[in-house]
Amino acid sequence: MRVAMIGGGMIAHDQLLPSLYQLQRLGRLGEIEVCDQKRESLEALAEAPVLLRAFPGQKFMPRLEPYEEVIASLPPRQLVVTAIPDHLHCEAILCALRHDQHVLTVKPLVLKLEHARLIEREARDRGLLVGVEYHKRFDDRSLLARRRYQEGFFGEFRLGTACLLEKWYYRHSNFQNWFSCEATDAFTYIGCHYVDLVAFITGLRPVEVSVYGIRDRFPNGVEGWLWTDARVIWSNGACLNVQNAIGFPDAAPGTNTQGLTMYCSTAERGAWIRHDDQYRGIQYSYVKNPGGAGSTLYAEPSTDYFQYVDLGGPGLVPVGYGYRSVAYIAERALELEGLGLEERRAKLAEWDRGGVMATPANSSYNEAVIEAARLSIAEGGRPIAVSEA
Ligand SMILES: NC(=O)c1ccc[n+]([C@@H]2O[C@H](COP(=O)([O-])OP(=O)(O)OC[C@H]3O[C@@H](n4cnc5c(N)ncnc54)[C@H](O)[C@@H]3O)[C@@H](O)[C@H]2O)c1
């Protein structure tokens, strides 16, 4: 199976391309093309020291042409990976589906429920996979909490609090070219991870959202909602507070700060889930800065999300839920190879029902939340009902 990745920016470098390279190394995937509208992005990705060190001899084919041309040049039912800014996902995914391609997309799938529906229909009609890469689902702690919750060990979710704040230096990256108030906000960009996770663990659905945002400026003067505080009400009346920002100090350890606490109960007893998703128990103080964006002398790396380990070579092997999540979706696309339309549809429906992989059919509550959130933030945090997803 060939792969065409659209967008060769940060997430492509940090997680997607190394995961795809590893699957290529294992013989699961074939040729990889990366399409980006900027030559510098493709050059930076091709020359990235960690990728050269981890995958000696492996290369992607750089494509500067419009993605429509790159997608059109693929034989049917290969894998298109979309890794471009949020507001461009919809068109690119529809373009891939209309050229009969399976899709792995970074979250959020799209920004409007109507667009998620359109994608869902197009994919179902053609028997194509659309996997939304909510990688936190593949963190074993999420899968364990989900299993325990479903087995009744926590009773019912009541109140929760979650946060994910990216570091300040993001403001100096390409984000300033697309993260404007009109396009997105901190909650839409990263808050969706925890909304998705609470739905994933509990099976509850969000029904109302209110997002208070603070406008702040990028170095190039573009204004973005860089600090947000959201309140999400759930189908059983539970309430989740989510704080997001691009503003966690660069000097602080870790690549961000993040975590989730859920207070739950039965009629007789309280229950509690707490995940420190930033501090995974590793503390390093280096004698020299390892380099790369945001590196600090004191560090708290996470081997849970994405790291490279030396298993004797050649190169290095990516480990963590960032890799497992990409591998899971790619393996599902591979499972569809050689099947007829009805067989593919049956498998896709089974995965929609299983709910482990986020798909347009089983996770469009995320789009409904985003849509309500975008209205709410523009109106100073007015509570907005979430459409039935
Ligand atoms: N935790 C996560 O799941 C996670 C983390 C980071 C990013 N993301 C998502 O990944 C996407 C990309 O984010 P990023 O951080 O890599 O951004 P980025 O700005 O670093 O990279 C985006 C790349 O897309 C390219 N691009 C833009 N428009 C294009 C077009 N029409 N055709 C081809 N290339 C185009 C840009 O030139 C750039 O190289 C966003 O949707 C973001 O929300 C998800």
Are 126 and 20 in a shared domain? yes
Looking at residue 388, its pLDDT comes to 79
- What is the torsional sign of CA 4, 99, 113, 335? negative
What is the residue type of 370?
I
Looking at residue 76, its pLDDT comes to 98
Give the binding-site residues of ligand 1, using a 6 Å CB cut-off.
6-12, 35-38, 41, 67, 83-86, 88, 106-107, 135, 174, 189
Are 147 and 285 in a shared domain? yes
> For residue 11, which atom of ligand 1 is closest to its CA?
16
Looking at residue 294, its pLDDT comes to 83
State in Å: Cα 238 to ligand 1 middle: 33
Reported residue count of the chain is: 389
Q: Assess whether the previous peptide bond of 360 is cis (omega < 30° from 0).
A: no
CA nearest ligand 1 atom 25, residue? 7
Looking at residue 83, its pLDDT comes to 98
Residue 354 token pair = 């299983």
- Closest by CA position to 387, among listed 370, 379, 110: 370
**DSSP strands (E only) in 146-186:** 156-167
Are 261 and 325 in a shared domain? no
Helices (H), the chain: 10-11, 17-25, 39-46, 49-54, 67-72, 89-98, 113-126, 140-150, 186, 192-202, 321-335, 341-354, 360-363, 365-378
Are 158 and 267 in a shared domain? yes
Q: Is residue 312 part of a domain?
A: no
**Location of structure tokens 């396009």:** 183
Q: Which residues of the chain have pLDDT under 70?
A: 389
Domains: count for the chain: 2
Q: How many CB atoms lie within 10 A of CB 346?
A: 12
pLDDT, tens digit, for every residue of 203-213? 999 999 999 99
Are 156 and 284 in a shared domain? yes
Are 131 and 176 in a shared domain? no
Q: Is residue 181 part of a domain?
A: yes
Identify the domain containing residue 202 by its residue range.
Answer: 140-302+369-385
Beta bridge partners, 105, equal 82, 132
Cα gap 156→238, rounded to integer Å:
9
Are 106 and 122 in a shared domain? yes
Looking at residue 389, its pLDDT comes to 65
Are 115 and 173 in a shared domain? no
Q: Is residue 147 part of a domain?
A: yes
Are 282 and 219 in a shared domain? yes
Are 160 and 115 in a shared domain? no
Q: Is residue 289 part of a domain?
A: yes
Query: Please, are residues 233 and 385 in contact by the beta-carbon 8 Å criterion?
Result: no
Are 85 and 234 in a shared domain? no
- What is the torsional sign of CA 194, 190, 105, 387? positive
Looking at residue 254, its pLDDT comes to 82
Looking at residue 382, its pLDDT comes to 98
CA nearest ligand 1 atom 31, residue? 37
Are 131 and 148 in a shared domain? no
pLDDT, tens digit, for every residue of 258-280? 999 999 999 999 999 999 999 99
Q: How many CB atoms lie within 10 A of CB 4?
A: 24
CATH code of the domain in which 352 resides: 3.40.50.720
